[in-house]
Structure 1
Amino acid sequence: MAEARIPLPDPDSMTPEQRAVYDTVVSGPRGAVIGPLRAALHSPELADRWQRLGEILRYRLTLPKRLGELAILVTARRWNAELEWVVHAEAALAAGLAPAVVEAILDGRPPRFSDPDEAEVYVFVRELQLSGRVGDPAYEAVRSRWGERGVVELTALTGYYTMVAMTLNAHRIPLPDGLAAAIHPDGEPLVPSLSGIPGVPA
């Protein structure tokens, strides 16, 4: 397995500040320190703020977990963030996202959604990832269904997991033992067409 570009703090050699953050994460809903927090622990104050924000965005959203995980998958595949993809593909399936949707995103194909709320989230996140902006139809679709709080949280979730993806890729954070790779982290960022998705002009 490839090694990270920087040392990843081990619990036995952490400073007291690092260990305090580590213990908080392990005792919370994540249950383990993996991914970008392993790098962020080099800056304990940053890691602490990071994990608090991440806990809100992953576990306390207005949107159903299925939709949050969909947004994370779109982001992970956009940036070829291997660890982000592997962890959240499993979480998305467990939350009820259809395997065919996960497979289509992995393959770079526009998914065929049976639920309009999934299509709306997909379009919103893809537009945001492609241009840094969201058109009025996509924005209003999410806001009308989930309100101002929902559309603010979805935007924050997308931005947060973009930061996660870039951290994983920049430092080459490896997959935990036992997890198999699904995408190549050094490949070109994926920018599939949005044609065929409800609400997007052909």
Structure 2
Amino acid sequence: MRLPYVADPPPVQTEQDAAIVQRIRDRRAPRPLQALDLTLLHSPNVADGWNSFLGAVRTKTSLTDDVRELAISRVAVCNKAWYEWGHHAPLAIKGGVSEDAMETVKRDSLGERPEGLLSEKQWAALVYADEMTKNVQVADETFAVLKQHFNDQEVVEITATVAAYNCVSRFLVALDVGEKNGTGPGALSAH
């Protein structure tokens, strides 16, 4: 980590700061504050906005767990954000994605959809996340395939998820949160 983590429990200077820490604890419950939280809490107002935004993206969309976590996991791979991978790849498995399918997600280049591992719908979301992350611009063909499988609300939610987790991964990698830079994705297992 390039900065020291804030102590846990975090020291608070104001009632507003105490309320921010409590909101983050409430969202994380029953888990404790994470290394990411203890980094963000160097700036309580940023941590509060982050918590609200990412909380909505992670828990208040209509996306299925498999699609959401596949997209997040692909962002992690593309950006070599192994702390992010370590949290979200197990959630993809828990959401019904096989470990063999997650091996496909870990590839540098996706290539062709492996038969029997990922549905066309899952693959469309994965390719979209890949292009958004690597190129920012998404090919019309890729978007057309996405639209065959997802309604307008889901397209907005997938796009917001990929965009949000690109933000997360860049923060994690720049500051080496969780001390995972340069380590690789590691072994897979569902939490």
Q: How do residues 103-114 of structure 1 correspond to structure 2 at under 5 angstroms?
A: 103-108=103-108, 110=110, 112=114, 113-114=117-118
Identity %: 21
User: Equivalents in 2 of 1:114, 1:107: separation in Å?
Assistant: 14
Q: How do residues 49-198 of structure 1 correspond to structure 2 at under 5 angstroms?
A: 49-108=49-108, 110=110, 112=114, 113-174=117-178, 185-186=181-182
- TM-score using structure 2 length: 0.83
Deviation (angstroms), 1:107 = 4.2
Structure 1 residues 12, 98: closer, same or farther in 2, change over 3 A? closer
User: Equivalents in 1 of 2:55, 2:137: separation in Å?
Assistant: 25
Q: SS of 2:4's equivalent?
A: coil
Structure 1 residues 37, 13: closer, same or farther in 2, change over 3 A? closer
Question: Aligned residues, how many?
Answer: 177
Cα pair 1:73 1:105 within 8 Å, conserved: yes
Structure 1 residues 187, 7: closer, same or farther in 2, change over 3 A? closer
Counterpart for residue 34 of structure 1: 34
Q: SS of 2:92's equivalent?
A: helix
Structure 1 residues 12, 36: closer, same or farther in 2, change over 3 A? closer
Cα pair 1:36 1:164 within 8 Å, conserved: no
In the alignment, structure 1 segments of 5+ residues that lack a partner are 176-183, 189-202
User: Equivalents in 2 of 1:186, 1:164: separation in Å?
Assistant: 17
Deviation (angstroms), 1:29 = 5.0
**Deviation above 4 Å: which 4+ runs of structure 1?**
none
Deviation (angstroms), 1:13 = 4.5
Deviation (angstroms), 1:151 = 1.1
User: Equivalents in 2 of 1:74, 1:35: separation in Å?
Assistant: 21
Deviation (angstroms), 1:65 = 1.0
2:5 pairs with 1:5: no
User: Equivalents in 2 of 1:58, 1:13: separation in Å?
Assistant: 24
Bigger drift between 98-107 and 113-122 goes to 98-107
User: Equivalents in 2 of 1:97, 1:133: separation in Å?
Assistant: 27
- TM-score using structure 1 length: 0.78
User: Equivalents in 2 of 1:109, 1:70: separation in Å?
Assistant: 15
Q: How do residues 9-24 of structure 1 correspond to structure 2 at under 5 angstroms?
A: 9-15=6-12, 16=14, 17-24=16-23
Deviation (angstroms), 1:171 = 1.1
Deviation (angstroms), 1:109 = 5.5
In the alignment, structure 2 segments of 5+ residues that lack a partner are 185-191
For residues 20-44 of structure 1, what are the alpha-carbon distances to aligned partners after superposition, in whole Å with 9 as ceiling and x for unaligned? Answer: 2222122225533214332221111
User: Equivalents in 2 of 1:105, 1:133: separation in Å?
Assistant: 20
Deviation (angstroms), 1:121 = 0.3
